[in-house]
Amino acid sequence: MCEAQCDRFQRCQMNLGETHEACVADCMSDAPSEAIFKPGVLSTWAACLSRLACGVSDDSCLMEVVVSQDPNWETEPRSQACMARHQECEGIGSGVSFSDDQCVAYFLCTAKVVAEVDACLGLACDQIAGCLDRTLQW
């Protein structure tokens, strides 16, 4: 996926003077382990990035990958429970919640990682973000 992302940065002149090789190395150092993802997730994501027009947010690729895994992801009970937990924690106060983007882990990650995400969501609100960050590495 890093190759595709850096190719896009170069194609769209978004690399800010960084070489392709440096971009890939930087991306790889920040990227989550490929082992947390279901088979096919990263290749679908990379294919989307490769054809994504310049000036378009790469969030659309994340959604494409999620939909490819489960077209009904928004109504799936785990997704709804995660979003409800996010809103509950967000209501407590600033800095207590976690990123709602992490709720898509249910559709992108292996069963082992999904079980860890479930465990994280069972923690107190002020502990969820750290747990999810360690589990998902993003």
Per-residue tens of pLDDT for the chain, all 138 residues: 899 999 999 999 887 778 989 999 998 998 888 999 999 999 999 999 999 999 999 889 999 999 999 999 989 999 999 999 999 998 887 677 898 889 998 899 999 999 999 999 999 999 999 999 999 987
Domain boundary among 35, 69, 103: 69
Question: Is residue 18 located within the same domain as residue 60?
Answer: yes
Q: Specify the pLDDT at position 14.
A: 87
Instruction: Write the DSSP assignment of 54-105 as a string of letters.
Output: TTS-THHHHHHHHHHH-TTGGGSHHHHHHHHHHHHHHTT-TT-S--GGGGGH
Q: Specify the pLDDT at position 42.
A: 94
Domain boundary among 69, 87, 102: 69
Question: Is residue 63 located within the same domain as residue 84?
Answer: no
Q: Specify the pLDDT at position 94.
A: 65
Take residue 137 and report the two structure tokens written for it.
Answer: 């590495």
Take residue 62 and report the two structure tokens written for it.
Answer: 């994340």
Question: Is residue 37 located within the same domain as residue 85?
Answer: no
Question: Is residue 50 located within the same domain as residue 85?
Answer: no
Number of domains in the chain: 2
Question: Is residue 80 located within the same domain as residue 105?
Answer: yes
Question: Is residue 56 located within the same domain as residue 112?
Answer: no
Cα 27 to Cα 23: distance, rounded to the nearest angstrom? 6
Residue 37: beta bridge partners?
Answer: 109
Domain range spanning residue 6? 2-69
Inter-residue contact 86 to 100 (CB < 8 Å): yes
Question: Is residue 35 located within the same domain as residue 88?
Answer: no
Cα 65 to Cα 135: distance, rounded to the nearest angstrom? 20
Question: Is residue 51 located within the same domain as residue 96?
Answer: no
